[in-house]
Amino acid sequence: MTENCECPNEERKTSIETLSKEEMLESIHEEIALEVSLDKYYLGVDVGSISTNLAIIDGQKNFVESVYIRTEGRPIQSIQYGITLLKEKVGENFQISGVGATGSARQLTGLVVGADIVRNEITAHSLASLNENPEIQTIIEIGGQDSKIIIIRNGLPVDFAMNTVCAAGTGSFLDQQANRLEIPIEEFGDLALKSDNAVAIAGRCTVFAESDMIHKQQLGHSVEDIVRGLSEALVRNYLNNVGKGKEITGPIMFQGGVAANVGIRDALRRSLIKQNKIKHEDDIIIPEHYDVMGAIGAAMLAMNKIVKNPERETKFVGWQIPDINYQTKGFECKGCPNICEIIEVIMEDKVIARWGSKCGKWDV
Amino acid sequence: MSEKNSTKQHKKRKKRVGFPRALLYYYFKAMWESFFEALGAEVILSSPTNKVTKDRGVLETLDDECYSTKLFHGHVLDLLDKEIDYIFVPRFASRKKREVACPKFVALADILKYTKDNLPPIIGPHYSTSREKHGFWRLVKIIFEIGFKFTKNPLRIIYAALKARKDHKTAMKNVSIDEEALKKWENSEILLNDAPAIVDGEKPLKVALIGHTYVLNDSFASLDVRQRLQKLGVDIITSEQMPRKLLERQILRLSMVNYGLEFSEPEKLPKKQLEKHLFGRNDYFYFEFEHEIVGTAMHFLENKSIDGILMLVNFICGPVSVSMEYAKLFAKKIKSETPIIILSLDAHTGEAGFQTRLEAFSDILRMKKSTGTIPKSVKMVSGSIFESWS
H or E element at residue B384: none
Position B259 scores a pLDDT of 58
Q: A153 and A51 share a domain?
A: no
Q: Give the DSSP letter string of B144-203.
A: HHHHTTT-S-HHHHHHHHHHHHHHHHHHHHHHSPPHHHHHHHHTTSS-SSSPPPP-TTPP
Q: A279 and A172 share a domain?
A: yes
Q: Report, as an integer, the average pLDDT of A332-346.
A: 84
Confidence check: pLDDT of B210 > 70: yes
- % of chain B with per-residue pLDDT over 90: 46
Q: Considering the domain boundaries, does residue A61 fall inside one? A: yes
Helix axes A223-241, A171-181, angle to 10 degrees: 160
Confidence check: pLDDT of B98 > 90: no
Residues on chain A touching B375 (C-beta within 8 angstroms):
20, 24
- As for the ipTM of the complex, it is 0.72
Q: A124 and A217 share a domain?
A: no
User: Cα–Cα distance between A254 and B164 in angstroms, integer?
Assistant: 61
User: Residue A337 and residue B360: Cβ atoms within 8 Å?
Assistant: no
Q: Considering the domain boundaries, does residue A361 fall inside one? A: no
* pLDDT tens-digit map of A231-267: 998 898 888 888 888 889 889 999 988 998 999 999 9
Using the Cβ of B364 and the Cβ atoms of chain A, whether some distance falls under 8 Å is answered with yes
Residues on chain B touching A158 (C-beta within 8 angstroms):
339, 364, 368, 380-382
H or E element at residue B68: helix B67-80
Q: A149 and A204 share a domain?
A: yes
What is the 8-class DSSP label of residue B378?
A: S
Q: Is A86 helix (H, G, I), strand (E, B) or coil?
A: helix
Residue type, A120: N
Confidence check: pLDDT of A146 > 90: no
Q: What are phi and psi of A226, to 5 degrees?
A: -65, -40
Domain that holds residue A250: 135-285
Q: A24 and A74 share a domain?
A: no
Using the Cβ of B387 and the Cβ atoms of chain A, whether some distance falls under 8 Å is answered with yes
Position B268 scores a pLDDT of 58
* pLDDT tens-digit map of B145-157: 999 999 999 999 9
| Total tally of structural domains belonging to chain A | 4
Pick from A119, A156, A160: CB nearest B368: A156
* pLDDT tens-digit map of A156-210: 888 888 876 566 678 888 888 888 888 888 888 899 999 888 888 886 777 777 8
Position B382 scores a pLDDT of 32
| Cβ-based burial of A1 (10 A; exposed 0-12, middle 13-18, buried ≥19) | exposed
* β-pair partners for A150: A139, A160
Inter-chain Cβ pairs, chain A and chain B, closer than 8 A: 92
User: Cα–Cα distance between B3 and B276 in angstroms, integer?
Assistant: 49
Q: A124 and A206 share a domain?
A: no
Q: A165 and A216 share a domain?
A: yes
Confidence check: pLDDT of B375 > 50: no
Q: Considering the domain boundaries, does residue A108 fall inside one? A: yes
Reported pTM: 0.80
Using the Cβ of B256 and the Cβ atoms of chain A, whether some distance falls under 8 Å is answered with no
Confidence check: pLDDT of A1 > 60: no
| Chain A residues within 8 Å of chain B (Cβ atoms) | 20, 24, 27-28, 30, 104, 119-123, 151, 153-154, 156-162, 164-165, 244-247, 336-340, 358
Pick from B47, B367, B384: CB nearest A28: B367
Residues on chain A touching B353 (C-beta within 8 angstroms):
162
The enclosing domain of A57 has a CATH number of: 3.30.420.40
CB A119 within 8 A of CB A41: no
User: Residue A158 and residue B368: Cβ atoms within 8 Å?
Assistant: yes
Confidence check: pLDDT of A145 > 80: no
Residues on chain B touching A162 (C-beta within 8 angstroms):
353, 356-357, 387, 389
Q: A155 and A265 share a domain?
A: yes
CB A299 within 8 A of CB A100: yes
Residue type, B300: F
Residues 6+ positions from B266 with CB-CB distance below 8 Å? B249, B250, B253
Angle at alpha carbon of residue A67, lines to A62 and A71, rounded to 5° = 135
Position A85 scores a pLDDT of 93
Q: A269 and A302 share a domain?
A: no
Boundary-marking domain end, from A262, A285, A308? A285
Q: Considering the domain boundaries, does residue A214 fall inside one? A: yes
**Which of A20, A22, A120 to mutate to test binding with chain B, by most B CBs within 10 Å of its CB?**
A120
Position B350 scores a pLDDT of 65
Q: Considering the domain boundaries, does residue A147 fall inside one? A: yes
User: Residue A122 and residue B363: Cβ atoms within 8 Å?
Assistant: yes
Q: A272 and A153 share a domain?
A: yes
Q: A143 and A277 share a domain?
A: yes
Ordered structural domains, chain B, with CATH: 5-175 (3.40.50.11890), 179-386 (3.40.50.11900)
User: Cα–Cα distance between B97 and A2 in angstroms, integer?
Assistant: 71
How many Å is the Cα radius of gyration of chain B? Answer: 22
Q: Is A265 helix (H, G, I), strand (E, B) or coil?
A: helix
* β-pair partners for B313: B344
Confidence check: pLDDT of B3 > 80: no
User: Residue A337 and residue B367: Cβ atoms within 8 Å?
Assistant: no
Position B238 scores a pLDDT of 95
Q: Considering the domain boundaries, does residue A12 fall inside one? A: yes
Q: A140 and A221 share a domain?
A: yes
* pLDDT tens-digit map of A105-126: 898 999 999 999 999 988 899 9
Q: Report, as an integer, the average pLDDT of B172-197.
A: 91
Q: Considering the domain boundaries, does residue A36 fall inside one? A: no
Q: Report, as an integer, the average pLDDT of B314-341.
A: 85
